[in-house]
Amino acid sequence: MTKKTYERVSSIQRITNETQINVRVNLDGSGKNSTNTGVPFFDHMIQQLSKHSLIDIDIRCKGDLEIDSHHTIEDVGWALGKAINVALGKKQGIKRYSFTYLPMDECLTRCCIDISGRPWLVWNVFLPNVTIKDIQTEIFREFFQSFSQSAKITLHIENIYGQNTHHIIESCFKSMAISLRNAINLDFRNLDSVPSTKGTLTGNK
């Protein structure tokens, strides 16, 4: 095979008593985004993720925002990670590894990714402000945690320096976006094989 002949798309639904979520992704998109979670700052972050990863992302979420935004943000992380995992299929031909240093004004964040099939998050990020609007900023660790678990990726995010909490959070999303873009990109020298000496990256073996 010298050309990709399959689509990398998926559609996921996740319904619990806390959240009802529908996610559609196209890994080979152009960064088109339509996200409505009822949490504008979080929608802004997903928009950044889509724009810079070039993954088309469509998210509809009805969450229990009358409690707070915790379940909504955590569960969208899970559903989006799952959608990406499904769309990646057997991970044939992907580049697999990537890293990005992402500056944003005064702050610098590094994200390293291995699309390994083994879920893991390292989160070395301190967020100086406890809240942004009415969002507890500690929830963003939970977003990346649930995303890494359901996407089955090894994800290391470190804020090297920075002061502004909005910048720090946004740099985490953008650095992951660019790392994802590169890691899910197809390696045209290696389209026929899964980039693992083990022969599988599904995480099932």
Give the interface with Mn ion as residue ranges (CB under 5 A).
170
Stretch (H or E) spanning 186: none
Nearer to Mn ion, 3 or 133 (CB): 133
- Beta-bridge mates of residue 200: none
d(Cα 49, Cα 137) in Å, to the nearest integer?
Answer: 18
Q: Report, in Å, the least distance between residue 184 CB and Mn ion.
A: 24
Q: Report, in Å, the least distance between residue 170 CB and Mn ion.
A: 5
Residue of 117, 103, 125 lying closest to 183 (CA atoms): 117
Integer angstrom CA distances of residue 163 from 91, 125, 126, 143, 158: 37, 11, 9, 21, 14
d(Cα 116, Cα 96) in Å, to the nearest integer?
Answer: 7
Nearer to Mn ion, 43 or 170 (CB): 170
Nearer to Mn ion, 94 or 168 (CB): 168
Give me the residue whose beta carbon is nearest to Mn ion. Answer: 170
Nearer to Mn ion, 147 or 173 (CB): 173
> Which residue has tokens 């389209």?
191
Q: Report, in Å, the least distance between residue 177 CB and Mn ion.
A: 13
Nearer to Mn ion, 43 or 114 (CB): 43
Q: Report, in Å, the least distance between residue 52 CB and Mn ion.
A: 12
Q: Report, in Å, the least distance between residue 53 CB and Mn ion.
A: 16
Secondary structure percentages of the chain, helix, strand, coil, to 5? 30, 30, 40
